[in-house]
Every structure is written in C-alpha cells, then in structure tokens.
Amino acid sequence: MQQILKAKIIEVCNKKIAIKGENVGISFYAFFKNKNDNPELLMEAATWWIQTHKLDHFEKAVKIKKLVGKL
C-alpha cells in the first residue's frame, strides 16, 4: 500500500473516531473526494478492502486503523 493512502486512511479514521466515537463505521469511499481524481489510488484502496481483506461495505474505523497499522 502506498504511504499516501496509508496516511489518508489513518487520518480519516482518526477524524471519524474523534467526531462520532469508537463505533463509527466507514467504507473505503470515505478516503476519497466525490470526484474520481485519482482512479489508481481508489482501485488500490478497493482491492485492499474487498479482495485482500474481504471486508464488508462498512467496517468499524478502529478495525481499519488497526489493519493499516500492521502494514
């Protein structure tokens, strides 16, 4: 996983947890703007989320943060 994506995931997870608490759920779309301005990075996140880890559409932000921290 590219460092830029890893940093973005951790940043978004931290923000969501700070605002909504430890039970907040997110999808990989949370790491991107509504514009598809970086399709390669989006596909990397989707592949990591769906194929590599076989995650549901929404997962707990704390779970995602832990998974990313293990990379």
Distance CA(24)–CA(39), nearest Å, equals: 26
Nearest residue to 13 via CA among 64, 57, 70: 64
How does 13-40 read in b/e, with b if 16+ C-beta sit within 10 Å?
beebbeeeeeebebebebbbeeeeeeee
Chain centroid to CA 25: how far? 10
**Which residues of the chain are modeled with pLDDT < 70?**
71
CA dihedral 16, 59, 51, 15 (to 10 degrees): 10
Check residue 71 and give its pLDDT.
Answer: 57
Check residue 22 and give its pLDDT.
Answer: 95
pTM score, whole prediction: 0.87
